[in-house]
Chain A
Amino acid sequence: MIDRVALVATRELRAERRQPDGVVAAVTFIAVLVLLESLVVGPQIARDADVASALFWLALAFATILATMRSFDRELEDDALEGLVALPGGRDALFGGKVLSLTIVLLLVAAIGGLLSLVLLDLPVALPIHLIVVVLLGVLALPPIVVVDVVLALRLRARAALVPILALPVLVPQLVAATRGTSAALSGDAVGALSWAGLLFAFAVVYTVIGLTIVPAAIE
């Protein structure tokens, strides 16, 4: 199982390296949102720890949706999905591999987008290690549910509109936890940051288990 997941993830990352449109789109999306934020609400409000954290995680949630949809579009364009699903254990490997590769891609996106936010908004970071832990676990918590929703909406018309409608309401607890955790790390609340990080880890585990249970049954 682990070998197959690693195989799918490696193949996915190789495809992303050769044609990094998913990463580029996600990073550009975050950069545009950060720039727009300070223009729309003004630099003083944009620098508020709560506002900056909320915008970063909302942007990252949309970036996750973008990257996941791009990843499945690539499969559909190459007619690769049927072959993968037909392999023994292919459905589990598809879910696991996609989640793993997307997590790695999103860590890169979060690192670039996060640094961009810190520099552009000139945000003071009170607890850098805590911030890294929260971002790491927040990134782990996003892809499982988005991959499930993209699989459910596969080959449907109006898919681009449907996936955010399905995914964002389910992501609310993760987004709240990630935003509060990031805000706590930025403003120096160590206990708060670690509590929210723990909750994010629990979400990541729960939704990965749900995904591994549901996706093999749901994928056609």
Chain B
Amino acid sequence: MTETTIPRGNTLPRIRPWLGIAAAASFVVASVMALFWAPTDAVQGDVYRILYVHVPLAWLAYLAFVIVFLASVGWLWTKRPFFDAVAVASAEIGVLFTGLFLVAGSIWAKPTWGVWWTWEPRLVTTAIMFVMYVGYLLLRGLSTDFSRRATRAAAFGIIAVIDVPIVHLSVLWANSLHQLPTVLRAAGSPALDSSMLLTLMVSLFAYTLIYTYFMTSRVSLERARQGRLWTRI
């Protein structure tokens, strides 16, 4: 075989610059709202503003690993290389955002709890999720054959997603220092001031755009790599 058998889509490269501009613009808007527009918290003061970084990072970590799971199912089901490209891209970005999520949490913990790190369920389960997806990337890195690597990684990507609900619900299952869910509450409406909630929603939107931009770039890169791989066969 001398030609690539992978259809190359042209949509991603076309929209990527616009996506980058939208992500950067929304990030600026979200940052201005978080730093200047949102009111100061009555208990924590200005320290709480890290919430507008911490919560979107947590959301992206969950989203990234759920995407890894869906793409893994897609690969095992169809064996289309596109799904493997999505899985690896989302896993790498997920590891990055989970790392930042832990760092942001640690920075917030110091002034509020008095320590950089404490052995409480949310922190520990998040750190475990981080290690789990580092393991996923290690598994990929140690496999050389494309198809085997994708299959092994997909199988692990399906198993590892079980940790995502465990991380989110750990604060409900065990006595935790971490605050309970504020937005997605079983009790009903979010326990946040309306302007704080709006700022948080804008931040979530901005960070999701950043994730999407990173994804389109990384998926394109992986597709190009797969294309080179297949032309060599």
Contacts and interface: CB of A to CB of B under 8 A. Distances in A.
Q: Are A and B co-members of a single complex?
A: yes
B201 interface: no
Given A156-B143, A162-B142, A172 B128 contact: yes
A170 B159 contact: yes
Contacts of B76: 217
B142 A170 contact: no
Chain B binding surface SS class: helix
Contacts of B155: 148, 152, 214-215, 217-218
Given A152-B152, A152-B155, A218-B155, A166 B139 contact: yes
A156 B128 contact: no
Contacts of A169: 128-129, 131-132, 135, 160, 163
Considering residues A149, A157, A173, A214, which has the most beta carbons from chain B within 10 angstroms of its beta carbon? A214
Given A152-B156, A165-B131, A170-B162, A218 B139 contact: no
19 contacts: A152-B139, A152-B152, A152-B155, A153-B139, A162-B138, A162-B139, A162-B142, A165-B131, A165-B134, A166-B135, A169-B131, A172-B125, A172-B128, A173-B166, A210-B159, A214-B159, A215-B155, A218-B152, A218-B155
Interface residues of A, number: 21
B118 interface: no
B163 to A, nearest CB: 7
Contacts, number: 58
A149 B156 CA distance: 8
Contact of A165 (B138, B152, B158, B166): B138
Interface residues on B, range: 20 to 34
B142 A156 contact: yes
Contacts of B162: 170
A217 B160 CA distance: 17
Interface string B149-177: 00110111011101100100000000000
Nearest to B121: A176
A195 B138 CA distance: 36
